[in-house]
Amino acid sequence: MFHNKADGDQVRARVAGCSSGEEAYSLAMLLSEQCDALHSTANIQVFATDIDEGAVARARAGLYPESIITDVRPSALRQFFVKIDSRYEVVKSVREKILFAMHVLRDPPFSRLDLVSCRNLLIYLDSGVQNQVLEMFHYALYPNGYLCSSAAPNRRTRSKNCSAWSGSTGRKRRSCRTGRR
């Protein structure tokens, strides 16, 4: 994702159905680490959205209970969190990379994305809606962008190649890589 990015270009990611923010913060942290490892000068921008206003507010707060120490590796805990009383707050440098917003999945999408992450959401949608949403993600992604989603039950969305499900529309095909979590 960082290859072919010139000075100041953005690496743009979207987390759809971000709930209270853990997925978006994890992604921003991983992208930051990768950016540093590659000595990239790209800017990371994560768009994190959810239909639930309360969840978006919790995500924006970026405050998590002490129990996260069982899920977050110690190096990430040291680098990306500050302990405040009995809670851990995500550091400003990570929070600045994420724009949290209320957004319904089927609203007009964010565009020019390098990665879309949609974990534990498609599985709750029926196959017709899944396909509409996947098609939107597909066109929001740059060619060779990444789609990361949990397993979806229907045959078309299980395809490893997004072209397989977009191809039936008769519109221009793009490839994108998918990964399951």
Ligand X SMILES: C[S@@+](CC[C@H](N)C(=O)[O-])C[C@H]1O[C@@H](n2cnc3c(N)ncnc32)[C@H](O)[C@@H]1O
The site for ligand X (CB under 6 A) is made up of 17-19, 22-23, 50-52, 55, 104-105, 119-121
Distance CA 174, CA 159 (A): 14
Which of 26, 21, 27 is closest to 12 using CA atoms? Answer: 27
CB of 24 to ligand X, least distance (A): 9
Would you say 52 or 135 has its CB closer to ligand X? 52
CB of 61 to ligand X, least distance (A): 15
CB of 66 to ligand X, least distance (A): 19
Look up residue 67 and give its two tokens: 């129990």
Catalogue the E-assigned strands of the chain.
10-16, 43-50, 63-65, 81-84, 87-90, 98-102, 113-118, 141-149, 177-180
Report the residue closest to ligand X, judged by CB. 17
At 12, which amino acid appears?
R
Would you say 11 or 136 has its CB closer to ligand X? 136
CB of 73 to ligand X, least distance (A): 17
What DSSP designation does 107 have?
Answer: S
Would you say 40 or 117 has its CB closer to ligand X? 117
Would you say 14 or 97 has its CB closer to ligand X? 14
Q: Strands 63-65, 87-90: parallel, antiparallel or unpaired by DSSP? A: antiparallel
CB of 46 to ligand X, least distance (A): 13
Would you say 36 or 71 has its CB closer to ligand X? 71
What phi-psi label fits residue 117: left (phi over 0), alpha (psi between -120 and 50 degrees) or beta?
A: beta
